[in-house]
Structure 1
């Protein structure tokens, strides 16, 4: 063990989105998942190119055969002027970049690339809660008009607009599909890993993670992290679910966090693999973990809190996954009696063990660092016993 007196401890950097702090520490995974662990067979990558009219696409959305990943808050990021100019581009018959859809085995489609554009066009044409009126147009004089206010020929032009869509065949392996998703992620603000998983996943896993991050215990422990703009809350809940369902050995067999979490997402989507009874057990374990963690660490839960530090750092995802798993099995009365010893052990480790600080700060997907921080949390949870 290298001590902090021998080497300067890593700093804390908070993630920022759209100019605002997110409350979550930047995770330095060292690009551990950037390389493809196993070369893909080119024959397994099946993508076909088709053309759909915009009217056809909108009908598919309304009937549920094309899913726009509900609950995806990033859809609110575009300003009205940006949305209006997309509509203006359609009216001016300026070709839009190609879209990517992933086809399911049941023939339904999910949007892989183009979610914001399709959400915007659907909101403008079909209205509803997300409907809007055109503002800030550069070339046309249709400001302050909704779709119903446009001349019939303009409406017809929108409906008849042809969209180029690349469709990923359902026989494409999930890991390959995820890698394709990352590679063609072309939005103005690229999706992060959890946002990609959300768009690729089915309703069941999305609902499970939403329930977990809506729990009072979770929001108490994380100072109201539920509903996070970059879905960091969903990723943290998924990390707990992944290690709780699959265990450390499964991670060590293939130590890549993205692949591990994508596998856990598929499990949660499969009722045969994870039946409802098992999901209830997951909820209770997660609830206990959140309650126990806050019981011990209070406002510093899942945050770096070395000795002598009184300010509150942003939430650290590596601390979240390790301490939540470590504390889930414990009885609150037992932890209450040993609280002083446990907190002292954890803070001492954050102050003096540079190997531990590295394990929760940089190259966090490395198998040795994952193993080290899990063993450390389990050991410190036993302090005073």
Structure 2
């Protein structure tokens, strides 16, 4: 087989950069209102307990503070040191609040005020009364420290919005990019997982967790993929549906597709699930004879899937040798060479040319 589509580290970095690119230029919609308020830690905890504050560790499941970082933050609260402000979106139609910036701080607050068994870290630069102590010990032996954490006030910027509106979703996507201040910034799919939560988003995660997908992509349970696989499935579905009208940038195109399916009924979502699940099984069992995919770029992988999905009925009736021949033709096509891919991973003309070629190859 030709080596024109072998993956290299430079191309991988370009694709990772694309997945995190801030390609939005949204201005605030006139009906989004931003205001500041002060909230005590106990008040934030109350909102969380009442289900009015959505703290989704899932969308940052691979980006969490270490126990030492959580401990130092609690120590800062106990010492009433200045705390950076948080940013929260408030959907005024549902009265639901969502952490935009400050998830790790909020998670530490909830942990301290909820888990009496939590033992703080053994650090030399914090209050000695909380060093290596459980929360219940601190509350019992040094109630003034516990009370100080409860009552410490944190500045919060609130974005009052309506997340059923596309313009509000896009603006919040921009805010996530600009305000996220963690040690490792969220990538685009991690942000989508938060903003576009719902049945369609759950379906993406279900497909990625399926054994068929795990087998095809040789998923390593120890590796942190940071929703890159979910984004690949999203790209495949979006481009299989309609790549002819793709105008870029990629992030906005995928956002629009997530928004389109966010409120769809279960029947529609199940149809999407079947499309991608059938393609995964076909590629694994027929194209690759039960072997995992080799290391391919996302652009090549999505083209393979789009070619298969667009020609599904024909391929099911095709000779297996012909299917394999088409796969080899795709792998060796100049459009999928390393150099060609590097020149325009998400450029509309390049994307449409690659996907058109993939559909042509699998239609033969």
TM over 0.5: yes
The residue that corresponds to 1:135 in the other structure is 121
- Report how many aligned residue pairs link the two structures: 347
- Ranges in structure 1 where 5+ consecutive residues have no aligned partner: 16-23, 302-311
Deviation at 1:201, TM superposition (A): 2.6
Among 254, 272, 286, the alignment partner of 1:282 is 272
**TM-score, normalised by the number of residues in structure 1:** 0.80
Structure 1 counterpart SS, 2:180 = coil
What does residue range 98-109 of structure 1 map to in structure 2 within 5 Å? 98-104=85-91, 105-109=93-97
- 2:339 counterpart of 1:339: no
Which of 232, 257, 275 is the matching residue for 2:250?
257
1:1-385 aligned within 5 A: 12-13=8-9, 26-27=14-15, 34-36=22-24, 40=27, 43=30, 46-74=33-61, 77-104=64-91, 105-127=93-115, 132-137=118-123, 138-141=125-128, 142-150=130-138, 151-171=142-162, 173-224=168-219, 228-245=224-241, 247-252=242-247, 255-270=248-263, 274-294=264-284, 295-297=286-288, 299=291, 301=293, 312-313=294-295, 315-328=296-309, 329-330=312-313, 331-332=315-316, 334=318, 336-349=320-333, 353=334, 357-358=338-339, 360-382=341-363, 385=364
Tell me the SS of whatever aligns to 1:121. Answer: helix
* Secondary structure, counterpart of 2:218 in structure 1: coil
Relative to 1, partners in 2 of residues 1:41 and 1:187: Cα closer, same or farther, differing over 3 Å? closer
Distance 1:79 1:88 in 2: 14
Asked if structure 2 preserves the Cα contact closer than 8 Å seen for 1:48 and 1:166, the reply is yes
| Aligned-partner Cα distance in 2 for 1:225–1:288 | 22
- Specify the SS of the correspondent of 2:89: strand
Alpha-carbon spacing, 1:176–1:373, altered in 2? closer, same or farther (3 Å):
same
CA distance in 2, matches of 1:244, 1:109: 34
C-alpha displacement at 1:293, in angstroms? 2.2
Change (3 A) 1:268 1:359: farther
Post-superposition CA distance 1:307-329 (Å, at most 9, x none): xxxxx53x422223222222122
Q: Deviations over 1:218-247 (max 9, x none)?
A: 1111112678441112211222232345x1
Deviation at 1:206, TM superposition (A): 3.3
Cα 1:132–1:13 change in 2 (3 A) is farther
Contact 2:300–2:336 under 8 Å retained in 1 = no
8 Å CA contact 1:69–1:198 kept in 2: the answer is no
Cα RMSD for the two superposed structures: 3.1
Deviations 1:134-173 (A, max 9, x none): 1133121112222221121111111111111111121462
Residues 112 and 225 from structure 1, CA distance in 2 versus in 1: closer, same or farther, beyond 3 angstroms?
farther
Structure ranking higher in helix proportion: 2
| CA–CA separation in structure 2 for the residues paired with 1:80 and 1:28 | 28
The answer on whether the counterparts of 2:42 and 2:150 sit within 8 Å (CA) in structure 1 is: yes
Report the CA distance between 1:332 and its aligned residue. Answer: 4.3
- Per-residue CA distance 1:53-109 (angstroms, 9 max, x = gap): 111111211221111124235366322111111111111111221111111231111
Go from structure 1 to structure 2 and tell me whether the alpha carbon gap of 1:291 and 1:75 turns closer, same or farther (over 3 Å shift).
closer
